[in-house]
Chain A
Amino acid sequence: MNIISSIKNKKDASSSFYSNLLLVAFSSLALSSCSSMTSNDIYEGGIVIHDPMENSNRQMMAFNQSIDSNIIHPIVKGYRAVTPRAARSGIRNFLRNLKSPMIFANQLLQGDLSGARDVLLRATINTSIGLGGIFDVAGYEGIEYEYEDFGQTLAVWGVDHGPYMVLPFIGPSSLRDYGGYITDYLADPLRVYAFNTDKQLEYTGKFMMDHLDIRDSLMDTLNDLENSSIDYYAAVRSTYYQHRKALINDHKGTAQTTIPAFPYYEDE
C-alpha cells in the first residue's frame, strides 16, 4: 500500500519506491543466508533441501491442490477449450516478450552479457518482425528464450535457497526465490510504467494472464508427476530444486559438476 500511495505522490515516488525495493531484496538476501542448516536437511545430488516448515508446507500444498482441482484446473481447461493451440502459443510468446525488460535487467545483474544481448535481440526482432511479440521469430533463428528472475540472480550472487516454502496459490518456492519474485514484480519496468500512466488494470490483466499461462504449461506435467509418484509432496519439492538449479546454470545441466553422481554399482 505504501508503494502505491507513494507512486501517486510522484514527487518522492522514485526514492521511496527504490528504498522499498532494496528493502525486499536485501531482507530476502539476509534471511536466506542467516537461516542455518540443520541435521534435518536433505542432501541430494549436490542440492541441499532445507525444509523446516514441512508440516505446514504439506498443509498448504493440500490447500493448493483443492484450489487447483476446484478452480484453477477448470479455468485452464476452459482456456484450452476456447483458445486453439496456436493462439495459446502466440499468447505465450507475447507474454514472454513483455518480460524482456525484467529478464534483461537480471541478465545484466548476473553479469551474463551474451544473455543480455540475446534478450535485446529477441525483443527487437520479435516486437517488429514478430508482430508485437506474437511470433517468436528470433527463436526460429536460433536465439532461444531464456528465463531469468531475481531469485536466480541472487543465486548467482551466492545466496542459498533458505527454507523451502509452499505458498498459497503460487505453490513451491523458497525464501530466496519468493523474495526474488516480489522484487521482480515491484521492479518490473513495465509495471512501473503502467502504474505511472494509470494502466494498472492492463498490467493486472497481464499479470493474471502470466499465471494462467504458467498453469497451462504445467498442468500436464504436474498431473503426470502426481500419478507417477508415491509421495507427491517430496517429488514436487525435488523437482522444484532441480529445475531451479538448471535455470540458474542456464540449462547447462549436462556439465559434470551439475548432475548428480551416479555410482558404478557393478564395481561393488
Chain B
Amino acid sequence: MLYYKTILSLSVIATISISTSSLAFQGNNQSQNVAKHMIPAKNEQLEIGAHKFVSDLTTKGLGILSNENLSGEKRNKEFKDLLQSSFDMKSIARFALGRYWRTSTKSEQNEYLKLFENMIVEVYSKRFSNYKGQQIELISTIPTGKADIMVSSVLIPETGAKIDIDWRVRKKKDGQLKIIDIMVEGVSMAMTQRSDFSSVIQRGGGKIEVLLAHLRPED
C-alpha cells in the first residue's frame, strides 16, 4: 500500500515539475516557429504549391473512390490515370532499383520502367482503395531538399487511431510537381520496394532478369 502511495505522490510531483518545465519548452517552440518563417521566399512558395498539390490530389483521389456514379471499371481507370499523372514514375522506379540500375543494360532498363509503372499503379490503387470514405487532413510542410517538400497529413478513419501519411513532393525541372514517395507511419514505400527488389536480385545471383521475370504479367 505504501508502495502505491509513494508512486502516487511521486507522480503528482512529476506532473507539477513537468508542466512547469513544459512551459519553458513551449517558449522554445515559439522561437522555432519564428525561425521557420525566415525560410527563403522561394522555398515558401514551393511549400505552398506542394501543399495545394497534395490537397488537390487527395481530394480528387478520394472523390473518385467514393463516386457512386462510376462503374467499378471506370473508377479504377480514372484512379490509375490520376496516379500516373501525379507520380514521378521514372524517379521512383530508379530509386527502387538502387545500384542495379547502373549494372543493367539499356533494354533491361526500358523493360523495367514499363513493368514497374504497371505494377506500382496496380499496388497503389489497391492500397488507396481502402481509404474510401475516410478523410485526409494536411498538417504541415517541411522542405527536405533543394526542390523537395514533405507534406505531412493524417488519415482519419471512422473509428480507431489516426494514420500518419507523409507525401514527398518534388519540383521537376519543367516546373511540375510530382510525388516521389509516400511514407505511411514512417515507412517509405519506395524504400520498402528497394529492399524487396535488391533482395530478389541478390538471391537470384545479382541478375536484374530475375526481378523482371517476377514483374512480367503472368499469361
Contact = CB atoms under 8 A, between A and B. Distances in A.
B196 A235 contact: yes
Contact of A120 (B14, B145, B150, B211): B14
B144 A254 contact: yes
Contacts of A117: 15, 18-19, 22
Interface residues of A, number: 51
Interface in A60-108: 85-86, 88-89, 92, 104, 108
A229 B18 contact: no
Contact of A255 (B19, B142, B168): B142
A234 interface: yes
Nearest to A123: B11
B187 A230 contact: no
A22 to B, nearest CB: 19
B135 to A, nearest CB: 15
B150 to A, nearest CB: 5
Contacts of B90: 265
Interface string A239-268: 100110111010101111001101111100
B82 interface: no
Contacts of A114: 18, 22, 25
Interface string A33-71: 000000000101100000000000000000000000000
A89 B150 contact: no
A145 B161 contact: yes
B191 A238 contact: yes
Contact of A45 (B166, B172, B185, B188): B188
Given A113-B21, A117-B19, A229 B196 contact: yes
A238 B195 contact: yes
A116 interface: yes
B127 A230 contact: no
A234 B164 contact: no
A45 B191 contact: yes
B180 interface: yes
Contact of A235 (B11, B183, B192): B192
B211 A230 contact: yes
Interface stretch (A23-31, A125-133, A220-228): A220-228
Interface in B51-68: none
Nearest to A121: B15
Interface string B1-34: 0000001000100110011011001000000000
A220 B163 CA distance: 14
B18 A228 contact: no
Contacts of B140: 254
Contacts of A227: 126
Contacts of A260: 188, 190-191
Contacts of B159: 85-86, 89
B94 interface: yes
Interface string B143-182: 0111110101000001111101010101011000000110
Nearest to A84: B159
Interface in A122-169: 144-145
Nearest to B183: A253
Q: Identify the 8 closest CB pairs spanning chains A and B, nearest first.
A: A246-B186, A234-B199, A238-B195, A253-B186, A117-B18, A228-B123, A89-B159, A242-B187
Given A108-B14, A238-B191, A243-B185, 8 more contacts: A114-B22, A116-B18, A117-B22, A229-B192, A243-B187, A253-B166, A254-B142, A265-B95
17 contacts: A104-B11, A113-B21, A113-B25, A114-B25, A117-B15, A121-B15, A234-B198, A234-B199, A235-B192, A238-B191, A253-B186, A254-B150, A255-B142, A256-B142, A259-B144, A263-B95, A265-B90
